[in-house]
Homo-oligomer: A and B are copies of this chain.
Amino acid sequence: MTTTVPATARKPATMAQALTRAMRDAMADDPSVHVMGEDVGTLGGVFRVTDGLAKEFGEDRCTDTALAEAGILGTAVGMAMYGLRPVVEMQFDAFAYPAFEQLISHVAKMRNRTRGALTMPLTIRVPYGGGIGGVEHHSDSSEAYYLATAGLQVVTPATVEDAYGLLRAAIASDDPVVFLEPKRLYWSKADWSPDAPTEVAPLGRAAVRRRGSSATLITYGPSLPVCMEAAEAARSEGWDLEVVDLRSLMPFDDDTVCASVRRTGRAVVVHESNGFGGPGGEIAARITERCFHHLEAPVLRVAGFDIPYAPPMLERHHLPGVDRILDTVARLQWESDWTAGGGE
């Protein structure tokens, strides 16, 4: 996982392909890695992310399970107790909900409960977020539930390279990782060589995706490309925006985030998940706790509305887009003649 590849070897690959490759390489390196879930075997998953794994490693290593998410995660817990390293696929975010009791009451607690005697080296892959025209229950952003659960690591890639690197790191972790895959980036492409993967960052490190001096956009997963686009568009308004991709929501990289905000003095958190009770509140609160006297304006949030996910034909109004981000940046109290009254 530490080879660096010359740029010449790189060619376009999708995030889905990088994820497949990460599982493939992990399975080849370590016979204890087992992939399981609904339709992950013969079909290769409804998003084809496990394509070819059953063929290469056999159905015992990449297993089509019965249709029961609590059963999938619950049996994976037992497999982990016996020394395996299960990689579980939940078909869609909303279909992980039946497995919540197993996740919260067992997966997250097992190491702590047994003082380290039983560990849960589980990776739970959850395709999340909207923007794919899915009918209801196919576009939820469920990260807030995972973040509120002590004992879970929560990781999400936003780039093709990270898809590979973070998934390898997640599978290698001795603690459970909820690995959130942004559905609408599955077919995003980047020049990347699946044959000689690049260096893998450890979990818990954010990445500065764009340097800027006016304000920091803090985001992750599906909203990263939107923020990058917004940062480009902001140039014509005279704002030079920095963009931080969190990559790992837990552990949270306070250092990188705060260093950026201390430098720019302004921050907007952007995510798709509902605003109220969503990750943005935690992120804004911890930045404020740590960087209060560096802030020229309150940390603002651009998030999905506080509504059940919108039907496909209306989802573009729900999702945080470039204009909504720019409108929010504009509210970061740039005028010197600002008078009291708060952000509203």
Contacts and interface: CB of A to CB of B under 8 A. Distances in A.
B276 A308 contact: no
Contact of A342 (B258, B273, B277, B301): B258
Contacts of A283: 281
Q: Could you say which of A148, A258, A301 has the most chain B C-beta atoms within 10 Å of its C-beta?
A: A148
Given A274-B150, A276-B150, A285 B308 contact: no
A303 B112 CA distance: 19
A342 B97 contact: no
Interface string A132-161: 000011001000110111110000000000
Contacts of A136: 109, 113
A255 B323 CA distance: 28
Nearest to A141: B148
Contacts of A294: 340, 342
Contacts of A338: 293
Contact of A308 (B100, B109, B298, B306): B109
Contacts of A148: 144-145, 148, 273-274, 276-278
A22 interface: no
A3 interface: no
Interface in A50-78: 70
Nearest to A306: B150
Q: Please tell me how many copies of the chain the complex holds.
A: 2
A298 B289 contact: yes
A118 interface: no
Interface string A320-344: 0000000000000000001011111
A94 interface: yes
A144 B98 CA distance: 18
Contacts of A278: 148, 282
A321 to B, nearest CB: 19
Interface in A66-113: 70, 94, 97-98, 100-101, 104-105, 108-109, 112-113
Nearest to A279: B277
A280 interface: yes
A145 B101 CA distance: 12
A252 interface: yes
Interface in A26-59: none
B145 A145 contact: yes
A104 B94 contact: yes
Contacts of A252: 276
A124 interface: no
A166 B98 CA distance: 30
8 contacts: A98-B101, A112-B307, A276-B282, A282-B285, A288-B288, A289-B300, A292-B343, A294-B340
The 5 closest A-B pairs by CB, nearest first: A147-B277, A281-B282, A144-B148, A97-B101, A284-B285
Interface of A: 70, 94, 97-98, 100-101, 104-105, 108-109, 112-113, 136-137, 140, 144-145, 147-151, 250, 252, 258, 262, 273-274, 276-286, 288-295, 297-301, 305-308, 338, 340-344
